[in-house]
Amino acid sequence: MNPLGEKYLRKEFLPFLFCPGCGDGMIVQAFLQAVDDLGCIDDLALTAGIGCSAWIGVYMNVDILKVLHGRAIPAAIGLKATQPSRKVVTFTGDGDCLAIGGNHLLHAARRNIDMTVVMVNNQIYAMTGGQVAPSTVVGSKTQTTPYGNIEKQLDGCKIALAAGATMVSRWSTAHLKPLIKTFKNALNHKGFSYIEIMSQCPVQTGRYLLGSGSPQFNLQWLKDHCVKEEDPSRWLEVESQGKIPVGDFLRIEQPEFMEEVQRMNQRVKEEQGKGGDR
């Protein structure tokens, strides 16, 4: 175990349940590096849904709520409401976040709730054996689309941007350095941060979508296909070449939900104190 692992992992849960060469373990390490740089491990509280990616937070020696498939974001909202001093982080997958949990993403982003969503996009339902996900590219053959996927893809970053998230980034496991920096910004961001990470799943995505189960091939695929483009007006062009835009897309400050609730309560109390007839 490397020193970062020695310091922060739950030893009794090892080894990671991830397959050899899976990107999820790289994300565990990148996230812990960001936490170590900030020295904020004691401030964290995590939630996770169901899927391989949902296990990322389980290995960290941090309080975690592991909840129903798709419900990691509402659990995080409840956690933030009751533990406002904690930095709340949700680990979720493309299926967990965009399919069964898609509605929660919309409304947490819209309310600008002070939390970070780490969405691990391997373009498939990996844990259950490689079924089509909303993030799966058109034409892909998966377990549930043996004749090719005919459904259009859903882009989590575009959804988060449209719904009102105040921080949106996408990186990949081939971009660990900028990813760690983005994690640090997200952990310090007051508001809703959506961080998507394109991650290799050699076993399902690799075999079914990309034609190779080799970890090296799958990481190289990400390196070749994820191109830095932070200007949304150029995304169509990037996507038309079969590539995926990555980068830090948005970081702005806007009123945050939990603070607005407090402010409203304060205002109502003051008004009632003045002897209004409510």
Partner 1 sequence: MKNAEKIEIDRRYCKGCMLCKYICPCDVFEPGQTRSDLDYLMPQPIRIENCRVCGLCESNCPDMVLTVFAKEKRKENQ
Ligand X SMILES: Cc1ncc(C[n+]2csc(CCOP(=O)(O)OP(=O)(O)O)c2C)c(N)n1
Which residues of the shown chain bind ligand X in the complex (CB under 6 A)?
50-53, 69, 93-96, 120, 122, 124-128, 133
**Shortest distance, CB of residue 260 to ligand X, whole angstroms?**
30
Judged by CB under 8 A, the chain residues 219 through 258 that form the site for partner 1 are: 219-220
- Which of 33, 47, 112, 122: binder of Mg ion (CB under 5 A)? 122
123 scored as a contact of partner 1 (CB under 8 A): no
**Shortest distance, CB of residue 263 to ligand SF4, whole angstroms?**
42
At 112, is the secondary structure helix, strand, or coil?
A: coil
12 scored as a contact of partner 1 (CB under 8 A): no
Instruction: Return the beta strands (E) in 15-125 as ranges.
Output: 44-48, 64-66, 87-93, 115-121
How far apart CA 251 and CA 47 sit, in angstroms, is: 23
- 21-33 in b/e burial notation, b at 16+ Cβ within 10 A? bbbbbbbbbbbbb
**Ordered DSSP codes for 232-264:** GGGHHHHHHTT-EEEEEEEE-----HHHHHHHH
- 226-228/115-121 β-pairing: unpaired
**Shortest distance, CB of residue 194 to ligand X, whole angstroms?**
15
- Which of 21, 93, 130, 206: binder of Mg ion (CB under 5 A)? 93
- Which of 9, 22, 157, 246: binder of ligand SF4 (CB under 6 A)? 22
User: Looking up tokens 């680990």, which residue turns up?
Assistant: 91
19 scored as a contact of ligand SF4 (CB under 6 A): yes
Listed ranges 30-38, 66-74, 93-101, 110-118: which one lies at the site for Mg ion (CB under 5 A): 93-101
Cβ partners under 8 Å of residue 39, min gap 6? none
Binding site for partner 1 (CB under 8 A): 1-5, 9, 14-16, 18-26, 28-30, 33, 176, 215-216, 219-220
